[in-house]
Amino acid sequence: MFVPARGEMVRADVDVDQFSQDTIDLLNLAMLVHARGLTPGNVRKMMEYSPPDHFKKELIDDLVKKRNQHVVEEIQSRMSQTDNIMVPWGVAHMPGIANEIQKSGFRLDATQEYMVIQFHSKGSQSDEIKP
């Protein structure tokens, strides 16, 4: 759970009602399997599911682009109030968010890598996984 030591936490995600019905249908199917497991009925529903041809673009628009736009709007509305803003968004969102922030006149000055998750395999002698 993300609990910042100080500052204001802003819920900057969109509401599911902004998603297309196709995206909502897929999310409902995924949540059904997540909540109830791979029962014969749920497997049947998954096998019968057939998204429309344009669904891939629609899904990316809903899950990435709309959410990115909203978080960028939240960032821009708070820039005059603080010198530091943390955006704990997933990796698929970062290029789009960075691009929009740079359009506002910001530039990348430096980068720093952080290890967020460290995986260990059974019998591994190393604390770090090498690429």
pLDDT-derived band at 1, boundaries 50, 70, 90: low
Measured on CA atoms in the order 52, 57, 60, 62, is the torsion positive or negative?
Answer: negative
Query: Is pLDDT at 87 greater than 90 in this prediction?
Result: no
Query: Is pLDDT at 5 greater than 80 in this prediction?
Result: no
- Record the tokens describing residue 14, joined without a space: 């969109």
Match 């682009």 to its residue by tokens: 65
Global confidence as pTM = 0.73
pLDDT-derived band at 125, boundaries 50, 70, 90: low
pLDDT tens track for 92-102: 999 999 999 99
The pLDDT value given to residue 27: 96
pLDDT tens track for 41-66: 999 999 999 999 999 999 999 999 99
DSSP code at position 101: H
Question: Of 99, 61, 59, 78, which Cα lies nearest the Cα of 9?
Answer: 78
Of 13-17, 93-97, 118-122, 124-128, the one with minimum mean pLDDT is 124-128
pLDDT tens track for 16-29: 999 999 999 999 99
The pLDDT value given to residue 99: 94
